[in-house]
A and B are shown apart, each in its own frame.
Chain A
Amino acid sequence: MRISVQEDPFELGAESDAFAAGIENAGAVVTFTGVVRDADAGGLQAMEIEHYPGMTETALTAIAEEAMSRWSLADALVIHRHGRLAPGERIMMVATAARHRKDAFEAAEYLMDYLKSRAPFWKKEILAGGSADWVAAKEADEDALKRW
């Protein structure tokens, strides 16, 4: 299990390869990548991601440990960036490995659902005109936790 909270970009291919190469006895590897999206084509200049150093790592570790114990996982990886990101840049990735794909898919969804609303990150959208808005949490994201 590896958790990384970092400002620097990450190489999706290299991270996926390294994760898959380190797995034994797993027939399924699932990866998910979150990308900064420009909702109103051309309107978004940057996304600023703030976090709570210390608590972030603790929370992500607890979430990943819970996933490891709920599903039969061989390994799990969470990488989440902070700082200023441009549209199209990768924000984060999760990877899960399991003997069978159902466990790997479900655990990846669980990781995503929890790190959306239980890991201390806050996103701010910097718009082309210079204005800035904090992204509001969605009720749907909170509701998503209920299924677990």
Chain B
Amino acid sequence: MDVLYFAWVRERIGLPRERVETTAATVADLVEELRGREDRYAAAFADLSALRVALDQELSEFDSPLDGVREVAFFPPMTGG
């Protein structure tokens, strides 16, 4: 699946998007996998309460299943307007 990062999450991880092969069942499982990769991921995902997630461009929760999902995006709370 494609994993996208925005704002300071993108800056901390150092890239805007990447292709991730995973068997993670939920968003939380995917986050655990990413955290284990490198320090920069661990830093970006240190505090989930500071993050939001969208699955196929729709706001979702960290316990949401990834079954059939093609695009996951992680970002801080939005600041539009």
A120 contacts B by Cβ under 8 Å = yes
Question: Which residue on chain A has the smallest CB distance to residue B54?
Answer: A55
User: In the bound complex, do residue A50 and residue B80 qualify as a contact, i.e. CB atoms below 8 Å apart?
Assistant: no
A residues at B contact (CB < 8 Å): 34, 50, 52, 54-55, 58, 80, 91-92, 112, 115-124, 134-137, 142
Interface of chain A: mostly helix, strand, loop or mixed: mixed
Interface positions of B (Cβ within 8 A of A): 4, 6-8, 54, 57-59, 73, 75-81
Per a CB cutoff under 8 Å, which of B8, B78, B81 touches A120? Answer: B78
Question: What residues on B are CB-neighbors of A52 within 8 Å?
Answer: 4, 6, 54, 57, 73, 75
Identity of the chain B residue whose Cβ is nearest the Cβ of A120 in the assembled complex: B78
Residues of B within 8 A of A123 (CB): 79
Contact partners of B79 in chain A: CB under 8 A: 116-117, 121-123, 134-137
